[in-house]
Amino acid sequence: MITKLAVLLFSLGLTLSALAAPTEMRTWTDSRGRQLYARAISLTGDDVVLEKEDGTTITVSVWDLSDADRNYVQQHFEEEDEEAEQSLGTMPTILLVFGVILSVIGGIWFLIVAFQESVLWGLGCMFVPFVSLIFLISHWRDAAKPFGLSLLGSVIIAIALAAAPSGL
């Protein structure tokens, strides 16, 4: 189970790191008319990082570019940002739903274990504060796995909420 979760999180990281695609190779012109053949790989604040054909990179202020190149960079990276926001908006939602499902399954499993012990334990875990904690401690061997599953779901929910855009 932990291995599958690690693979899922690793795949998520690779997906998110692949979101920012560079532009194609093109001729860039600065405000003085000088030209450079390169591609833009990132935009940070007012600086654009250009990669030349030989692989070397230079950082140029967006305001030093010609109007056409400045518009091109802003349009390209705004589209990238919108696509990243859309995919980042769905991934936390998927994680949130997955976490809720795990938590609910763990909670139901915990109640099943409590009811298997006795009806009073089951009802106590459902309706009386702290009885679940007492049951967990006194029946650790049987209740540890459902508790752990529920706890894992809660951790995934917390990660999803922390990674979510402000609208979730």
pLDDT in tens, the chain (168 residues): 555 555 555 555 544 433 446 677 888 888 888 888 988 887 777 788 888 888 888 888 888 888 888 888 878 777 655 555 555 557 788 888 999 999 999 999 999 999 999 999 999 999 998 999 999 999 999 999 999 999 999 999 998 888 876 654
The answer as to whether 154 is a domain residue is yes
The answer as to whether 139 is a domain residue is yes
pLDDT for res 115: 96
For the chain, the domain total comes to 1
CA-CA-CA-CA dihedral for 131, 135, 136, 142, to nearest 10? -150
pLDDT for res 62: 83
The answer as to whether 32 is a domain residue is no
Q: How far apart are CA 42 and CA 51, in angstroms?
A: 10
Identify whether the C-beta of residue 131 lies closer than 8 Å to the C-beta of residue 120. Answer: no
Helices (H), 35-139: 67-117, 119-127, 131-138
The answer as to whether 9 is a domain residue is no
The answer as to whether 17 is a domain residue is no
The answer as to whether 70 is a domain residue is no
The answer as to whether 116 is a domain residue is yes
pLDDT for res 79: 61
**Sign of the dihedral through C-alpha 31, 33, 34, 40:** positive
* Residue 114 structural domain: 90-168
Q: Which residues contact 167 (CB under 8 A, 6 or more apart)?
A: 89
The CA angle 127-132-137, to the nearest 5 degrees, is 160
The answer as to whether 30 is a domain residue is no
